[in-house]
């Protein structure tokens, strides 16, 4: 029988074989089309052409896997991927993932993986401080992504507002709970409302002003109306860097309203939270320190591999109240120490150690490395706006982040213009950008999500857009 470990010489050889293939891709990502030509049956065939009744050699299998990924992926690590907040993964985080896989630490109980647990506790504390929370009160947990962190926030807010919830759930509530977010919030908030059993009807999507920030007059008016009509408001979610347009809600203003009505105030800073790491940008998030909880994805602007989100709160105890359960079979070697078992703080039970790759990247780059990169990307974003305006495009959003929504206003009434130009660019394999509707009208959306994106890359993009517009006529 073949050992699942393989033997030491095979391992040596496979490490090298795999690293050579990966290094070729990583160092030469730019030679790929940004996105493949999409042929679904070809992809399905490529996956299914192997058959688990007859096995391949390790090298054949690894080669098949790497080739498939290379041929059939949108290359988010490509410098001309101007898409959603999917970064190129920085190299230390890739090594962090490998190290995590080899040790395979169990992040359910503290006592099984004290070092990995303490890494996460340290990172939660450090980021909590960066966000301006009082040191002694910081608590939090790592999550698989912003969606899980946002779901965690809704659960904490529910348990905070309705202490009987853990026992009796929604039964026994005399009033229907409602929550507030802006119409530009990420849809994971809606998913969270659905998941916890509140339902979409419990969400009030507050319209945004012209600058795409939540309209606080309307927020206040809607809360008052809900109270009068017998609903029970319990939570408001502000966004620091919306997914569509990079808008930052007025966090100080939301805090005031939240206080008036005793609402939990969560800030979804999945992308924009990185701004706290740069002295020139951190004031943009003014008021985030006043929130009750924060979502921050390190797998977005901090460019660590996926599955790294931080949920941070300044209510010590709320995570335990929300998730604690006693399980007699869980290891308790550390029961006399002041430690927390992550399974009592999280939706998850057995869990991968998400923090290791962020810890490694921070040790190697330091805060300073991130500061420089974040600033560099915002500068490339400024340059992109400049080039677009020179080319006769109008920037339609006013985000200080490198998320640029733009349009040629001469084509506002051509329904197919945006789609046609974007599809041609994507089909050419030269760049990847997306459409984002602002007040119902489509705009082009380009985000500098890769720390390697250069001035030449954005010059090329603007050239491709200008040509597309010309072809459209
Ligand atoms: C990306 C994003 C999310 C969802 O995070 P995932 O990591 O994809 O789960 C939530 N909110 C905002 C503002 C986002 O940009």
Map out the domains of the chain as residue ranges.
105-351, 361-472
How many other C-beta atoms can be found within 10 angstroms of the C-beta atom of residue 326? 6
Ligand 1 neighbour 93 (Cβ under 6 A)? no
Output the pLDDT for position 106. Answer: 95
pLDDT in tens, 156-168: 999 999 999 998 9
Q: Please, are residues 296 and 127 in contact by the beta-carbon 8 Å criterion? A: yes
CA of 17 to the centre of ligand 1 (A): 35
CA distances from 139 to 15, 149, 162, 340 (A): 38, 13, 20, 10
3-state secondary structure of 7: coil
Helix (H) or strand (E) holding 18: helix 8-27
CA of 342 to the centre of ligand 1 (A): 22
CA of 145 to the centre of ligand 1 (A): 7
Ligand 1 neighbour 184 (Cβ under 6 A)? no
User: Is 0.95 topped by the overall pTM?
Assistant: yes
Report domain 105-351's class: alpha beta
CA of 310 to the centre of ligand 1 (A): 11
CA of 147 to the centre of ligand 1 (A): 6
CA gap 150, 156 in Å, rounded: 10
Ligand 1 neighbour 145 (Cβ under 6 A)? yes
CA-wise closest residue to 240 among 227, 250, 228, 254: 250
Choosing among 3.30.2270.10, 3.90.1150.170, 3.40.50.970, 3.10.450.50, the CATH entry for 361-472 is 3.90.1150.170
First and final C-alpha spacing in the chain: 67
150 CA: nearest ligand 1 atom: 10
271 CA: nearest ligand 1 atom: 15
Range with lowest mean pLDDT among 91-100, 317-326, 341-350, 426-435:
317-326
pLDDT in tens, 370-381: 999 999 999 999
- Residue range 397-426: mean pLDDT, rounded: 96
CA-wise closest residue to 256 among 219, 230, 227: 219
Output the pLDDT for position 339. Answer: 83
Give the chain's mean pLDDT.
95
- Residue range 99-116: mean pLDDT, rounded: 96
pLDDT in tens, 257-284: 999 999 999 999 999 999 999 999 999 9
Answer yes or no: same fold for 105-351 and 361-472.
Answer: no
Ligand 1 neighbour 302 (Cβ under 6 A)? no
96-115 burial, b if ≥16 CB within 10 A, otherwise e? bbeebeeeebbbbbbbbbee
């Amino acid at each position: 029988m073949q050992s699942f470990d393989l033997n030491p010489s095979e391992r040596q050889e496979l490490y090298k074989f795999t690293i050579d293939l990966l290094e070729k891709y990583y160092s030469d990502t730019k030679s790929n089309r940004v996105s493949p030509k999409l042929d679904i049956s070809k992809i399905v065939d490529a996956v299914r052409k192997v058959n688990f009744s007859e096995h391949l050699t390790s090298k054949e299998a690894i080669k098949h896997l790497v080739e498939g990924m290379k041929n059939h992926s949108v290359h988010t690590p490509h410098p001309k991927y101007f898409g959603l907040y999917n970064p190129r993964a920085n190299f230390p985080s890739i090594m962090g993932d490998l190290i995590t896989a080899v040790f395979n630490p169990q992040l359910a109980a503290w006592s099984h993986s004290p070092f990995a647990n303490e890494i996460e506790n340290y990172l939660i504390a450090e980021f909590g401080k960066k966000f301006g929370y009082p040191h002694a009160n910081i608590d939090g947990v790592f999550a698989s992504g912003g969606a899980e962190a946002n779901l965690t926030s809704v659960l904490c807010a529910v348990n905070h507002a309705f202490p009987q919830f853990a026992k009796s759930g929604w039964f026994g509530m005399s009033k229907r709970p409602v929550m507030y977010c802006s119409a530009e919030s990420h849809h994971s908030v809606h998913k969270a409302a659905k998941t916890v059993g509140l339902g979409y009807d419990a969400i009030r999507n507050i319209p945004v002003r012209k600058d795409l920030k939540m309209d606080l007059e309307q927020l206040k008016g809607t809360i008052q109306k809900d109270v009068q009509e017998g609903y029970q408001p319990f939570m408001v979610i502000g966004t620091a860097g919306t997914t569509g347009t990079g808008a930052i809600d007025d966090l100080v203003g939301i805090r005031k309203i939240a206080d008036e009505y005793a609402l939990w105030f969560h800030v979804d800073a999945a992308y924009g939270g990185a701004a706290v790491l740069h002295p020139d940008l951190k004031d943009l998030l003014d008021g985030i320190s006043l929130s009750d909880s924060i979502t921050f994805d390190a797998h977005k602007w901090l460019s660590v591999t996926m599955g790294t989100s931080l949920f941070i709160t300044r209510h010590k105890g709320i995570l335990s109240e929300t998730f604690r359960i006693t399980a007699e079979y869980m290891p308790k070697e550390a029961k006399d120490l002041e430690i927390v078992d992550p399974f009592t703080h999280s939706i998850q039970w057995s869990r991968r150690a998400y923090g290791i790759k962020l810890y490694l990247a921070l040790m190697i780059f330091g805060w300073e490395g991130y500061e420089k990169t974040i600033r560099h990307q915002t500068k490339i974003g400024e340059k992109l706006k400049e080039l677009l305006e020179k080319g006769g495009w109008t920037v339609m959003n006013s985000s200080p982040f490198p998320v640029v929504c733009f349009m040629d206003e001469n084509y506002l009434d051509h329904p197919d213009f945006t789609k046609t130009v974007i599809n041609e660019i994507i089909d050419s394999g030269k760049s990847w950008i997306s459409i984002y509707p602002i007040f119902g009208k489509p705009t082009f959306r380009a985000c500098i999500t890769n720390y390697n994106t250069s001035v030449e890359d954005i010059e090329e993009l603007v050239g491709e857009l200008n040509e597309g517009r010309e072809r459209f006529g």
